[in-house]
Structure 1
Amino acid sequence: MGSCIICGTSVEGHICDIHEEDAVFEFRGSTPDELTPGRYYRGTVDGFAEFGVFVDIGDSVTGLLHESELDSRLESLSWQPGDTVYVRVTNVRDNGNVDLSWSIRQADDEFRGVLIDDPDEDHELLPEETDEPIDEQSTPDESPESTESESTDSKQTDATTTGAVRTREDSQTGGGAVGLEESESASAADESASAGSADVEGTADEDVEDEPAEAERTPEPPSVDVGDLEGWIGDTVRITGEIVDARQTSGPTVFELRDGTGSVDCAAFVEAGVRAYPSVEEGAVVEIDGEVRERRGELQVETEELELFDEDKREAVLEEIEATLSERARPDEIDPLVADEAVAAESESIRDVVGEIRRAVLEDRPVIVRHSATTDGYVGGAAIERAVLPLVRDRHDRRDAEYHYIDRRPIEGDVYGLDDATTDVTRMLGDRERHDENLPLLVFVAAGGTEESLDGFELLDVYDASKVVIDTVAESTIVDTVDAALAPKADATSVAIADGTTRGPTASALAATVGAHVEEDVRPDLAHLPAVSYWGEVPEAYAAAAAEAGYDGTAVSEIREAVALEAYYQSYEDKRELVTDLLFGGRETTDADVRGLASHVSEQFREKLDVAVETAQENLDRRSVGDETIGVLDIDRFTHTYDFPPATLLLDELYRRSDDLTAIVGVDEDELHVRSGHELDVRELVDAADETVEGADLEPLSTRSHRIEFLAGQRSTVVDAVLDAIVDSV
């Protein structure tokens, strides 16, 4: 008879049934059926699968720790094959499969005893009762002599220790202290105690208080930029930067530190699940000394010392980070896709926008492209997406990273309203809460350039979401609101949209230029995009660039029309793969069906548009107002509301085919659209009409696309008043 090592009860062996779960076992068997379900075992990581982690228990048995049993996401684990972990055997199946569950205790000294499970014996054994050595796990309570002995024998054993970061003042309490230059490390637990989101390894250091002379001779570690850490694996270095994330795992505390060259996880361990350096939070600026390790393909610094900077030092470091990031992100020179004076004149603005986009990628912020659901919007948005995708793929190993860090979201019209802003704010706050994502950079293409978008932008400002605008016009109020704006004009009335064309470069021409500088390697892919975005005559330089890229006039026209048709259907979806096939399929595949996709879709475009225009021409009401003739189309009665083409595209084409009209006004139930070759300011039209119509609640919906909103009950009087205002303006 023996006695329980915990309670002293007389038992056959050394542990009673009540306290069996308080001990950890080392397995000496060779088959799964020799395991005892319910017991905790020391094991080692064997490998990883999509559904969990395989753990070796002993030399011959492997079990599965399913991802549902983990206390963190599988992809966040920093384990390496061979790392020690502690698991519980929950079931041994008839086919020999072993089911495991997670143990919150991840070191021998966190259990109340260590026993040997040897099936050849009648009962469990104490370590001293077996001739075979067991893997002793060092603890903070070890004496200097025992630590020294282990150090001497380290060449003959595989046992490793976990470095714990402690200062002299709090070494008795086990808490991490900040800001003290003198600190000492104590061996804390087995390497497995850090299992969770990160592992921390190190060699237990001796207490050096009795050897001050030797300590004074210890050289400071070299200061290294985060971006250069790959060349310092295995070395102790010093890094300085801002803490952008602090999270507690079941093992160590993990701080994400960034400087101007990149970011890296720094693991600090006191004891399993206990917060190290509790005063260090997000936004703190620190200096960390530690060894550079590689964990599952990712670099990690094992924190040995940490110093928290005061306000003066903090500001200096943040300024340096800011300067370095700006220098890395902002291009030195701008080389337009073609010789275009209007684009070249915006070189400084292009540099600003490129810098904001590249910086967002460097800071792991998602890039959200918001663009109008038009050909110009889709082509320009796709140009930005095309440029950002390779940067995201290069920076993130996750297969789904390209769907998290770059997204394209069309909006109806060219105004970013509260409805769109509410959608974006809801999604970005949810992503931050559920997935710990940073707030995004929003890039507006062919949208957001006029002050009608201010309400939406102001909601984004509440949450400090960054934003840039790439449009044919950017009014001064918008320029003052966004982080960067790229537009050749500041006056919406100077952008002629009578037939769907613009004076000067399109938003797509600007966006393609930006994309070529965000990622130089995609420049050849973007050369034909500006030509696709012009509904009128394509500028000669852009037509030549498209031809050189393999797109003749017919191909350019077919792509333009195909994108316009597909932009209308499922207008709130990005249709990434379909748009990619339309815009770039001719370059990326020899598949005849894909190469002919644009031609096929453009045929449908022309058929549908021709039928709609013929119907509109037959029902166009030509009104004489003063000395001018204005065409009025009742959109509500003479178009198919939920079928292609949309009113904007229909009115553009209708105006192209109506040479004798001063303007065309399309009237819907509670809004109207104006098309004219004259420069008209819809705000002035609204002011003039409002003087003659009471209670119509006239509002300019978009000064860029000449839309006016009114109350449906005043429809006829509003139309008359607007027609008079148009004649007075021309």
Structure 2
Amino acid sequence: MDWITHEEDVWFDFRGQHANQLTSGRFYRGTVDGFAEFGVFVDLSPSVTGLLHRSELDRRLESLDWERGDTVFVQVKNVRDNGNVDLGWSIRQSESEFRGARIDDPDGDPAGEPLERDEDDADTGPVKKRPKPAKGTTNDRTNRGGSDSVPDTQGDAGNGRASSDGDAVDDRNDEGDSTAVDEGDSTAVDDEAFSRVSIDDLDDRVGDDVSVEAIVVDVYQTSGPTVFELRDETGTVECAAFVEAGVRAYPEVDVDDVVRLAGEVELRRGELQIETEALTVLTDDEAATVQGRLDDAMTSRARPESVEPLAPHGAVETRTEELADAAEAIRRAVFDDRPIVLRHAATADGYVAGAAIERAVLPLIREEYPTSDAEYHYFTRRPLDDPMYGMDAATNDVTRMLQDRDRHDERLPLVLLVGTGSTAESADGLGLLGVYGARRVVLDAAAADDEVADVTEVLVDADDADDLSTGALAANVASAVNPEVRDDLAHLPAVSYWEETPEAYVEAAAEAGYDADRVREIREAVALEAYYQSYEDKRELITDLLFDDDGGLAGHVSEQFRVKLEDEIETAEANLETREAGGVNFAVLDTDSFTHRFDFPPTTLLLDELHRRNRTDEGPFVTVGIGTDELYLRSTAPFDVRSVAAAARERVPAAGVTAFGIRDGRIEFLSGMREDVLSAVVDAVADQL
């Protein structure tokens, strides 16, 4: 046939290495790489990935029947300056619906050379099929090529070699049917006859028959083979097993199984792959031996050699072992193909802490997983607006992780709670994660409740330290996670303190080029954006403010912060009610009447600033902000929020008084008993102080 010249009628096979080599407007064949809340990632080549945003779809994202590894057709809409590729939906989703195919080779014909494809090869999976061993044999190595049982009808292609253009080539028997290994029949091949090698030795074994003993870290079904990703103590490799198109091979093998896999090492489009001939789940001593080797290697690789505090700080220096434990857990998650879900408080301190961990982890992910979108698969930062990790947040996280496990065969994540999760109110949420086997790490610059230790694997808290911020704690952990970014983190501890910043952090920030004014501007700018970005990570803006700004952006945003805050402070101070009880002075603000409840600043930040400005040194001073059904307490002397709530509940038993947010000094009650609750809380605080 004559090849059509209108690009909208043909699809292109991209042979380039960089996104800027794509041509906007063309339709390309790609492979589904993964899913996110905002769309689908599609590989256009081994080194170029684009995003098909959910707004481009002609249906709901949840209704797509695509799976990871499926072949799809998309249109390139735009290639951004930063290399991101915006994709559009193609209503045509098979080769037969296009009028032709061409090669998009940046070094070739700009219009594209015709892509000649046999009709039998169209719309097949991305990995070639394997000749089935002859009946009655235990090892099919003698049946490759021109054996009587599986004739070689395609020369090298019949031997299972990739074609010169990198596309997979089907092996076919003398009846023209595709053949493959028996589904799950590990007895068909004597895997012990294959020489055992470590994964890092595979570069030198292309074309050889080998076996590896490893742990399954991922399984996904493509439109052709089943792909098993294996990890041993030296690295990872993908292994393709084919039964028939789209049918799960070795269904008894699952993620986290310890296995022995035998097959031939191949290069497919420059990537190492083992074509599976036998796959056996190991048990008992054999499994324990492999697991032990991997654990020892992972611990050796993940454990920081040392923890060097970012600045002299006793509260950090006495916790180096705990910091090393947290850093090891985070690093191991990266090396172990385990996604990290970072939950941090939606405050300036929480955002600084979350950004510090993010700054350390993303380069490790990019190094470990070279695909351009890996960081979106393996790292998620979700601000948490509540002062604890409650059942609502935990249920949301569990639902997402189970969907990712069942739909995309992802491993269960490491859930890292920063500046939250250390109180008893978080125990149920942490316990729910534990029921499903998700890893849990908690970092909080406050003393953790005993209940939390039982439902976490790593817990780093302030204990008796009173000069430690969550941002300082997390920045020191981040430095241990990735020493290469240590210089980027030097100023973050100073940014995280609103007052009484340890002098060592002030000096560290100054040495890094951040004087007191600039540190203040960054803190205020992050606080403003933390309010407007609640429930979202917004990675780019926070990164700009904390790491990539010469002062212009932070200065602009912090000016808005001060204007908005001063307006609210002026109104609040004019309407403070003062009272005295038991020698304690109280300043009470009706937050329903004298604040803009749904605009900046949030009640907690406003009360913090009010308390700083109005407190006195003449005995205990307490600031109270009371709304419709909740109140917040700030005090110059320490008190126990739970005890205050319990005492108030005894005074007004019908008011449903409950300590809700220990870190925020928050107490909830029934709105109909508002005035009675206020009086009861004031008396309870006075009795305690």
Q: Does TM, normalized by the shorter one, top 0.5?
A: yes
1:223 partnered with 2:197: yes
Aligned length: 583
- Partner residue of 1:664 out of 616, 620, 623: 623
Q: Aligned ranges for residues 39-438 of structure 1 at < 5 Å? A: 47=15, 51-53=27-29, 92=99, 102=123, 142-143=147-148, 174=182, 177-178=185-186, 182=190, 221-224=195-198, 226-269=199-242, 276-277=249-250, 279-438=252-411
Q: Name the CA distance, whole Å, in 2 between partners of 1:304 and 1:317.
A: 20
SS at match of 1:243: strand
Shift of 1:139: 8.7
Q: Name the CA distance, whole Å, in 1 between partners of 2:68 and 2:471.
A: 41
- Partner residue of 1:540 out of 503, 515, 519: 503
* Contact 1:179/1:308 (<8 A) preserved: no
- Partner residue of 1:519 out of 482, 493, 508: 482
Shift of 1:550: 0.7
Bigger Cα Rg? 1
* Contact 1:239/1:288 (<8 A) preserved: yes
Bigger mean CA deviation after superposition, 272-281 or 365-374: 272-281
* Contact 1:244/1:283 (<8 A) preserved: yes
Shift of 1:180: 7.5
Runs of 4+ in 1 over 6 A off after TM superposition: 70-74, 93-100, 104-110, 138-141, 144-151, 157-164
* Contact 1:106/1:272 (<8 A) preserved: no
TM-score by length of 1: 0.72
SS at match of 1:573: coil
Task: Name the amino acid aligned to 1:528.
Answer: H
1:728 partnered with 2:677: no
SS at match of 1:585: coil
1:561 partnered with 2:524: yes
- 1:316–1:692: structure 2 CA closer, same or farther, 3 Å change rule? same
1:648 partnered with 2:604: yes
Corresponding residue for residue 707 of structure 1: 666
Output one character per residue of 1:315-363: Cα deviation in whole Å (capped at 9) or x when no partner.
Answer: 3322332232222112121111111121011111111111111111112
Task: Name the amino acid aligned to 1:303.
Answer: T
Q: Name the CA distance, whole Å, in 2 between partners of 1:278 and 1:449.
A: 40
- Partner residue of 1:488 out of 448, 453, 462: 462
- 1:466–1:552: structure 2 CA closer, same or farther, 3 Å change rule? same
* Contact 2:565/2:606 (<8 A) preserved: yes
CA RMSD of aligned residues (A): 4.0
* Contact 1:449/1:472 (<8 A) preserved: no
SS at match of 2:471: helix
Task: Name the amino acid aligned to 2:555.
Answer: S
Corresponding residue for residue 634 of structure 1: 590
Q: Which structure 1 segments of 5+ residues have no match?
A: 1-29, 34-43, 55-63, 79-86, 111-137, 165-170, 185-217, 496-502, 587-593
- 1:597–1:51: structure 2 CA closer, same or farther, 3 Å change rule? same
Q: Name the CA distance, whole Å, in 1 between partners of 2:191 and 2:197.
A: 18
Q: Name the CA distance, whole Å, in 2 between partners of 1:640 and 1:88.
A: 58
Shift of 1:106: 8.0
* Contact 2:226/2:247 (<8 A) preserved: yes
1:609 partnered with 2:565: yes
Q: Name the CA distance, whole Å, in 2 between partners of 1:636 and 1:702.
A: 19
Q: Name the CA distance, whole Å, in 2 between partners of 1:662 and 1:92.
A: 79
SS at match of 1:695: helix
* Contact 2:322/2:459 (<8 A) preserved: yes
Corresponding residue for residue 3 of structure 1: none
Shift of 1:622: 0.7
Q: Name the CA distance, whole Å, in 1 between partners of 2:641 and 2:332.
A: 37
Q: Name the CA distance, whole Å, in 2 between partners of 1:245 and 1:574.
A: 26
Q: Name the CA distance, whole Å, in 2 between partners of 1:295 and 1:467.
A: 37
SS at match of 1:444: strand
* Contact 2:145/2:152 (<8 A) preserved: no
Output one character per residue of 1:369-392: Cα deviation in whole Å (capped at 9) or x when no partner.
Answer: 111111100000000111111112
* Contact 1:447/1:469 (<8 A) preserved: yes
SS at match of 2:614: coil
Q: Which structure 2 segments of 5+ residues have no match?
A: 5-11, 17-21, 31-43, 45-51, 58-63, 73-93, 102-110, 133-142, 173-178
Corresponding residue for residue 689 of structure 1: 648
Output one character per residue of 1:655-710: Cα deviation in whole Å (capped at 9) or x when no partner.
Answer: 11123362111111111111111110011111211221121111111222211111
- 1:425–1:290: structure 2 CA closer, same or farther, 3 Å change rule? same
* Contact 2:261/2:277 (<8 A) preserved: yes
Output one character per residue of 1:472-528: Cα deviation in whole Å (capped at 9) or x when no partner.
Answer: 122221122112111121xxxx68xxxxxxx22111111111111211211111100
Output one character per residue of 1:225-266: Cα deviation in whole Å (capped at 9) or x when no partner.
Answer: x24433443444331012334445454443222223332212
* Contact 2:422/2:442 (<8 A) preserved: yes
Output one character per residue of 1:596-641: Cα deviation in whole Å (capped at 9) or x when no partner.
Answer: 1111111121222122222212111111213222111111111111
Task: Name the amino acid aligned to 1:531.
Answer: A
Q: Name the CA distance, whole Å, in 2 between partners of 1:91 and 1:178.
A: 41
- 1:557–1:228: structure 2 CA closer, same or farther, 3 Å change rule? farther
Output one character per residue of 1:403-445: Cα deviation in whole Å (capped at 9) or x when no partner.
Answer: 2221211111421122222222222223333333322211111
Q: Name the CA distance, whole Å, in 1 between partners of 2:392 and 2:251.
A: 41
TM-score by length of 2: 0.76
Shift of 1:296: 2.6
